Amino acid sequence: MKRDKYNENIQSQMRKGTLEFVILLIISRQPIYAGDMIKALKKYELIVVEGTLYPLLNRLKSSELVDYKWKESTSGPPRKYYTLTAKGKRFLESLLISWNTLNQSITALIKSYEKNNSR
Beta partners for residue 71, in sequence order: 79
Res 1 pLDDT > 50: no
Q: What is the per-residue pLDDT across 74-94, written as a single tens digit (0 to 9) for each?
A: 888 999 999 999 999 999 999
Question: Which pLDDT score, from 0 to 100, does residue 17 have?
Answer: 83
**From residue 56, how far is each of 17, 40, 109 by CA, in Å?**
12, 16, 31
Q: For position 27, what pLDDT does the model report?
A: 98
Rounded to whole angstroms, how far apart are CA atoms 98 and 89?
Answer: 14
pTM: 0.86
Which domains, from first to last, does the chain contain? 2-116 (1.10.10.10)
* pLDDT tier at 13, thresholds 50, 70, 90: confident
